Amino acid sequence: MSIVVNGLLAGTIYALIALAFVVVYKSSRMINFAVGEWVMFGSLLVAAGLHILALGLVLSIVLAVVGMIALASAFGHLVLRRLAGRPLVSIIMITLGLGALMRGVAAIVFQRVPSAISLPLPSEPLIVQGVIVPLDKLTAACVAASCIAIVGWFYQASRTGLALRAIADDQSLAMSAGIDVQRHFTLTWAIAGMIAVIAGVLWTFTAGGGIGAVLVGLKVFPIVIIGGLDSISGTIIGAMIIGLIESLSAGYLDPGIGGGFGTVASSLVLIAVLFVRPQGLFGHAYAGRV
């Protein structure tokens, strides 16, 4: 039972990280292959605020959020405006290039910054009816679930969320209705940046950080494809599936087969879903004239 609980808690954090991918695709149909770099960069900004500027955790997170919003704004004004009408492969290459640039900058700027981020929590785990629940993962999962709920409400209930959904459905009609598409694209990346900061802090707190945090981006793609690229609820379910698979594989299969089978098992599930439902479990299939 402890293995299942750990898998679900890990899945909640995965869902938050995957949300940084989904919000960009859901609003603009852009595929951000640099989501791991965004999470890494956000966590390093927080670490710099903690260890270099000695600002404390809250102010460090605020500083990192401001920094990621500034990065998103610069990316929007310098790059996104020039991508209108370009082929999908151009957008993919831009995000891959952005990721490489962020890794290079982080390796230079943050090379002397300790990456550890700690929260004031007791070290003893919580025991519920004999089930051991790590308090750090439980806290991280609760924060992640709260952020997911806020983002979900934002997209469904706010006027800005309605505008973003309209842009995703048809950019031309949205522009004719008076919606500033480019400004909303930049806003979408700013939201992804804020999510990346929180996700980076939680991931670093529970699993370690630094430049290596960029690898969490590799865990995101099976999640969003299994759940559906444009589905927040599908992302949550996909993250839980991947979290459970990794936890069960680590607990029952790795001792006999060898370490790391959880990643392989996730890939096998991804391939199976693509065969049965290419748009994901909760994704939408888009039809168009040819």
pTM beyond 0.85: yes
> Are the C-beta atoms of 270 and 226 separated by less than 8 Å?
yes
Q: What per-residue confidence (pLDDT) applies to 131? A: 75
Count of alpha carbons within 13 angstroms of residue 57, beta-carbon side: 9
Residue 143 forms part of a structural domain: yes
Please tell me the predicted confidence (pLDDT) of residue 130: 73
Helix axes 232-248, 2-28, angle to 10 degrees: 150
Is there a contact between 250 and 202 (Cβ–Cβ < 8 Å)? Answer: no
Token pair 């929180």 is at which residue? 198
Q: What is the pLDDT of residue 286?
A: 56
Number of domains in the chain: 1
Q: What pLDDT shows up at residue 61?
A: 92
Q: Is residue 244 included in any domain, yes or no?
A: no
User: Is 134 within the bounds of a domain?
Assistant: yes
pLDDT, position 85:
62
What interhelical angle do 135-157 and 181-207 show, nearest 10? 170
155 occurs within a structural domain: yes
For 274, residues 6+ apart whose C-beta sits below 8 A from its C-beta are 225
Angle subtended at Cα 100 by Cα 95 and Cα 103, rounded to the nearest 5 degrees? 125
Q: Which domain holds residue 155?
A: 2-119+126-217
| Angle (CA) 166 23 224, round 5° | 120
Return the closest-CA partner of residue 186 out of 211, 204, 160.
Answer: 160
- As a whole number of angstroms, the longest Cα–Cα distance in the chain is 60
Residue 270 lies in a domain: no
pLDDT at position 64: 93
Asked, for residue 223, whether it belongs to a domain, the answer is: no
Q: What's residue 12's pLDDT? A: 87
pLDDT averaged over 10-residue windows placed end to end, the chain, 290 residues: 81 88 81 87 91 89 92 81 70 85 89 82 73 81 90 87 83 82 85 91 81 79 83 85 83 70 77 81 60
Q: Rounded distance, CA 224 to CA 230, Å? A: 8
- Coil/strand/helix, residue 40: helix
Q: Are 228 and 280 in contact (CB under 8 A)?
A: yes
Residue 234 lies in a domain: no
| Contact residues for 288 (Cβ-Cβ < 8 A; gap 6+) | none
Residue 132 forms part of a structural domain: yes
Residue with tokens 């009609």: 173
